[in-house]
């Protein structure tokens, strides 16, 4: 037994670099026992979906290898978490447990119970901010209340001192005299047993090394063109860092200082990189966590109370057509098929498919949020909630109710040659550019030459966008009229 051990509890911070809680334990020069505890029941109803579990498996495997390279290992346990930590403390003689904070409502409540219980048993407990630039309670409006509009929120964040420099990864971790037992990673059964996972594997490199490579590639190749290309799903114009940030393989502080270093190397003025569109997207991530923390009911209920009375449709056939990418609207179907194949979808297309579900089909945003939760590798409760409530018009800083994305004009504007659609809807590969985003409007001869028979090779539109838009606007007008003055 080692009376001077510390336990570090890995969560959504699956990295060694810039890990504040890990760094704090290392200052004491004592032996360290890293542990990951899998307890999905404690996060219900928002325990990880299928795509996220696949990513978690790969990321944990990468973390195991990283720890072994610096003389340590990862102890894997199955929950309940409190019982697992108690057992580990007893087995190792640990006197201190530390972790980095999370901000989901169920996790906050769970962590508070764990902290109180361990402290009552004489164990020193510490938690740190390893996930955000600014924690939710540190940003307030002039009235001392949380923000509900993004622009003043982000201005307030930018007015604060810059985040501290990112912490280096430790070169060595002191092992305990003897290692406590743990589970093999495969025992958690995180990976799906269906061929679907092959698309995820082909598209991603989970883990801290993959995150660093993705950030380096983006800052070196795509950052300059980000503002111009970020809305184009047909080009590689975005960072694709979202899953790495969600699982904590990369911290927002590392992104902040990565941008700063690139700007300095290129002699860009500070105002340019601090005001860049990409850093603003990091700001939206901060804003999402700010909202979830202060309005914990929003994953299932609208922030704007009148929307609780909105009469959404229950149409299982339409919902399934949307989920499977068979709506008859190419940009929508391409996005949903990209999601199903790779576990990810371009952000502009996320807005288009979300608008189609809640405005054209009048199916509840909660149905879309659940589907995204299960199929996205970057499924994040804060951002998923913000995005869907924004589209539905029922959340903070929401899109105006009369903003209904036209799937044809959106496709023509942001996928002008139809390359994105042709990639994910190969049955339309031979359609001319003019008709790629509206094959139902093409002359019969054009369809025949492209080898497309609507209703057989590619579905006809399940609704008329023009009619659906008018129906949606009237329904949303009625809800807007019920809002308090």
Residues taking part in catalysis: 281, 284, 312, 347, 365, 388
Q: Which among 143, 461, 99, 150 has a CA at the least distance from the CA of 284?
A: 150
- Report the 10 Å Cβ neighbour count for 90: 12
Give CA separation, 329 vs 396, 409, 459, 462, in Å: 29, 11, 8, 8
């Amino acid at each position: 037994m080692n009376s001077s051990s510390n336990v570090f509890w890995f969560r959504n911070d699956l990295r060694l670099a810039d890990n504040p809680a890990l760094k704090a334990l290392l200052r004491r020069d004592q032996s360290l026992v890293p542990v990951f505890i899998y307890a999905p029941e404690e996060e219900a109803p928002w325990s990880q979906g299928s795509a996220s579990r696949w990513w978690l498996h790969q990321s944990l495997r990468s973390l195991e290898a990283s720890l072994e390279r610096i003389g340590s290992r990862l102890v894997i346990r199955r929950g309940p978490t409190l019982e697992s930590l108690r057992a580990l403390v007893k087995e190792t003689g640990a006197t201190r447990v530390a972790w980095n904070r999370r901000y989901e409502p169920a996790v906050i409540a769970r962590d508070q119970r764990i902290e109180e219980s361990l402290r009552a048993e004489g164990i020193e407990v510490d938690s740190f901010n390893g996930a955000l630039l600014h924690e939710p309670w540190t940003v307030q409006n002039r009235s001392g209340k949380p923000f509900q509009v993004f622009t003043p929120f982000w201005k307030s964040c930018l007015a604060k001192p810059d985040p501290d420099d990112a912490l280096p990864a430790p070169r060595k971790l002191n092992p305990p005299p003897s290692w406590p037992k743990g589970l093999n990673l495969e025992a958690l059964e995180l990976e799906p047993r269906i061929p679907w996972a092959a698309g995820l594997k082909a598209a991603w490199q989970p883990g801290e090394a993959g995150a660093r490579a993705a950030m380096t590639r983006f800052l070196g190749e795509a950052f300059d063109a980000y503002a111009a290309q970020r809305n184009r799903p047909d080009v590689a114009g975005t960072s694709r860092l979202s899953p790495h940030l969600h699982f904590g393989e990369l911290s927002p502080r590392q992104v902040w200082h990565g941008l700063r270093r690139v700007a300095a190397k290129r002699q860009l003025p500070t105002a340019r990189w601090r005001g860049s569109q990409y850093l603003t997207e990091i700001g939206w991530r901060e804003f999402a966590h700010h909202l979830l923390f202060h309005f914990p009911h929003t994953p299932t209920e609208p922030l704007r109370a009148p929307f609780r009375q909105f009469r959404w449709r229950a149409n299982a056939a339409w919902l399934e057509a949307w989920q499977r990418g068979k709506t008859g609207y190419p940009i929508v179907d391409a996005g949903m098929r990209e999601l199903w194949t790779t576990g990810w979808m371009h952000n502009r297309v996320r807005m288009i498919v979300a608008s189609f579900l809640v405005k054209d089909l009048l199916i509840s945003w909660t149905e879309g949020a659940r589907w995204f939760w299960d199929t996205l590798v970057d499924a994040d409760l804060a951002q998923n909630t913000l995005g869907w409530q924004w589209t539905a018009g029922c959340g903070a800083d929401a899109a105006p109710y009369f903003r209904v994305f036209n799937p044809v004009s959106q496709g023509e504007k942001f996928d002008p040659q139809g390359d994105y659609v042709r990639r994910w809807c190969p049955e339309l590969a031979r359609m001319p550019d003019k008709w790629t985003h509206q094959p139902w409007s093409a002359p019969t001869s054009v369809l025949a030459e492209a080898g497309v028979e609507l209703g057989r090779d590619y579905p006809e539109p399940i609704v008329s966008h023009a009619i659906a838009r008018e129906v949606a606007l009237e329904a949303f007008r009625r809800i807007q009229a019920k809002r308090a003055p």
